[in-house]
Structure 1
Amino acid sequence: MFEGYLTARAYGHFDELLELPELLELPEDIVTPSGHCFSRLEAFALTCARLRTPAELELLSSHYRRSPAAISEAVNWVVTYLDNTWSDLFDFDHTGLLSPENLRRYANAIFCRGAPIRTVWGFIDCTIRAICRPFRFQRQAYNGHKKYHALKFQAVMLPNGMFGHLFGPFEGRRNDNFLLHASKLLEKCAHFAVWPGSSENSPLERRYFQLFGDAAYGISPQLISPFAGARPRTEEEEQWNAVMSSVRVQVEHGFGLVTSTWQYLNANWKMHVYSSPVGRYYRVGVLLTNILNCYRPNQVSQYFDCEPPSITEYLHH
């Protein structure tokens, strides 16, 4: 029966599929609210298979010999458990992925790829995920720019191809700065993203590592953005913007990796926010994308020549 699970091509190595349920601390036996029983391997494999394709549950049912209701409940149970258990990895993992030593390594990798400054450690942006029109609070979920109902997430892409921060979901109508303020990310950066050996007397440019975002984010000691505004920009400013834009584009590749690997996340007609944990689907998709990168470095990691952590280094509490 488990031969079929290998059609979830994201996990092309059976030994990885075998070890991940234990590394992710899934319980050995899983019982859904309706009483369907699964081993942790079966439930995790079904979750990967479900996120891999937008196919109807009936097709998965015929392939994996489980009822559609059982598969749905198993997937929702695993997704909820993984999000609850590992959400701290997306906050500010200052003892692991975002340790001061790693921030220095990321800043050096970005500088070596062409950035004009040595302080940028990651790229912040928001992504808008389309959902089915909800039957309640439709105006809050509607994104006027994209012209559809959506959930919104804030993320930070690192040069090693990992998502170092993920915040959301929020209603699709919210703007980027609302999420930035609500996440308290800059406050955490002020506390943790500090150059080793610096002090309160150090100049700001030598005290903090910095995120880079688009012009809407503005500028602070912990975050910088391109030169913008109504005034004409100098040649040096235009060149600075062009160079930073060329390295920042990798954050778009990172978002693309999530949805190209876990194509169920693109099925907006299946994303019913009041009947399924839609926000958790995307968060777990990002978690699994990070995990895949630990096994096989993705194009972002290769572009910056910056190695991701091992799977055991990443999955820590």
Structure 2
Amino acid sequence: MEEDECLAEFRVRKCDLPVLADVLMIPDKFICDQRSVVGGMEGLCMLLKRLAYPCRYSDMMARFGQRQVPVLSMATNCVLKYIYDRHHHRITQWNHGILNPAALQTYADRIHQMGARLDNCFGFIDCTVQPIARPGTDQRTLYNGHKRVHSLKFQATALPSGLTGNIYGPVEGRKHDSGMLADSNLLSVLEEHAISPSGQRMCVYGDPAYPLRVHLQAPFRHGQLTPQMQAFNKAMNEVRVSVEWLFGDIANYFKFMDFKKNLKIKLSSVGKLYVVSALLRNALTCLYGNQTSQFFGLDPPHIQEYFS
């Protein structure tokens, strides 16, 4: 394959595929449930091809040596499960590699230099609605009235380096953002770990849906706002938009997640697909950067460092 062709089909440059396979610790081969054997690199490319665009398995047969549709399906799910089981803790739990005290201080300093009024804010929190196909059961539970779509929801923390620092979910689509915050136990984790090297308490910044806490700040929203309050809200909102860019990056790079008719709960692992897509997006950010890292002028860590 040509370099541009590989980048278009797999979202990864040809020379970087071995690097990605190495940090993900992809084995030499995958053995599917019905004993079909797929090479490690081949299986990784199958998953990347599937996520890159909402293609059918039959459309992938020509690329992967005329392998049959059932083999392509089982191999893709096998690689998805392997990556999730092996690496999901890097994004679903507190990652000390990118969320250590020194790193938190670096993030906060950069956000403050970009005009934010808070000098101890190291990231931004928000929830995203992931549309899915209309389910046969539990339709009321999964229906999001605000977006008017059946969905799953995820809560994510965005960092100025362009990485998704933490993600929680999936939960049912009708769940409120504040309810997700309570279920995720993020405030307790922040209380334990979000401390700068000098002992200052660090915080994340969210939209008006979130409560005001020591480790969670939100805009002024009650009563008559003074000019100073309005200026605070404006300055913080100008940098908080980066969390929306990260959600957009996942959908833009892995467009399979933007095709809700193929996201059928109880028939496919929609939650795992989204978490693995976010993890792979972090890997691509380490390799190539993204809009958020360019906006803040803060380079992401090396991919070997992120997966160490």
> For this structure pair, what is the TM-score category when the shorter chain's length is used for normalisation?
over 0.9
Q: Does the residue aligned with 1:8 lie in a helix, a strand or coil?
A: helix
Instruction: Select which of 212, 229, 252 maps to 1:219.
Output: 212
Q: Which range is displaced more, 209-218 or 91-100? A: 91-100
Deviation at 1:46, TM superposition (A): 0.8
Which residue is equivalent to 2:240? 248
Instruction: Select which of 252, 255, 264 maps to 1:263.
Output: 255
Task: Please tell me whether the aligned partners of residues 91 and 167 of structure 1 are also in contact (alpha carbons under 8 angstroms).
Answer: yes
Task: Please tell me whether the aligned partners of residues 10 and 45 of structure 2 are also in contact (alpha carbons under 8 angstroms).
Answer: no
Deviation at 1:52, TM superposition (A): 0.3
Deviation per residue, 1:232-276 (Å, 9 max, x gap): 100010011011111111111111111000000111000111111
Which residue is equivalent to 1:16? 16
Which residue is equivalent to 2:82? 81
* In structure 2, C-alpha distance between the alignment counterparts of 1:264 and 1:27, rounded to whole Å: 25
Residue 234 to residue 6, structure 1, CA distance change in 2 (3 Å): closer
* In structure 2, C-alpha distance between the alignment counterparts of 1:7 and 1:297, rounded to whole Å: 17
* In structure 2, C-alpha distance between the alignment counterparts of 1:171 and 1:5, rounded to whole Å: 36
Which residue is equivalent to 2:97? 96
What are structure 1's unaligned runs of at least 5 residues? 199-206
Residue 291 of structure 2 is aligned to residue 290 of structure 1: no
Which residue is equivalent to 1:183? 184
Task: Please tell me whether the aligned partners of residues 5 and 45 of structure 1 are also in contact (alpha carbons under 8 angstroms).
Answer: no
* In structure 2, C-alpha distance between the alignment counterparts of 1:138 and 1:34, rounded to whole Å: 34
1:50 partner letter: R
Query: Residues 1-317 of structure 1: matches in 2 within 5 Å?
Result: 7-12=8-13, 14-64=14-64, 65-198=66-199, 207-229=200-222, 231-316=223-308
Deviation per residue, 1:32-80 (Å, 9 max, x gap): 1122211110000111011001122211123322222111111111111
Deviation at 1:5, TM superposition (A): 5.2
Q: Does the residue aligned with 2:62 lie in a helix, a strand or coil?
A: helix
Q: Does the residue aligned with 1:72 lie in a helix, a strand or coil?
A: helix
* In structure 1, C-alpha distance between the alignment counterparts of 2:295 and 2:6, rounded to whole Å: 31
Deviation at 1:9, TM superposition (A): 4.8
What are structure 2's unaligned runs of at least 5 residues? none
Residue 214 to residue 293, structure 1, CA distance change in 2 (3 Å): same
Deviation per residue, 1:122-152 (Å, 9 max, x gap): 0000000000111122211111111111010
1:313 partner letter: E
* In structure 2, C-alpha distance between the alignment counterparts of 1:133 and 1:2, rounded to whole Å: 39
Task: Please tell me whether the aligned partners of residues 80 and 277 of structure 1 are also in contact (alpha carbons under 8 angstroms).
Answer: no
Number of residue pairs aligned between Structure 1 and Structure 2: 306
Task: Please tell me whether the aligned partners of residues 194 and 208 of structure 1 are also in contact (alpha carbons under 8 angstroms).
Answer: yes
2:212 partner letter: I
Deviation per residue, 1:3-31 (Å, 9 max, x gap): 9755425112x221122222211221101
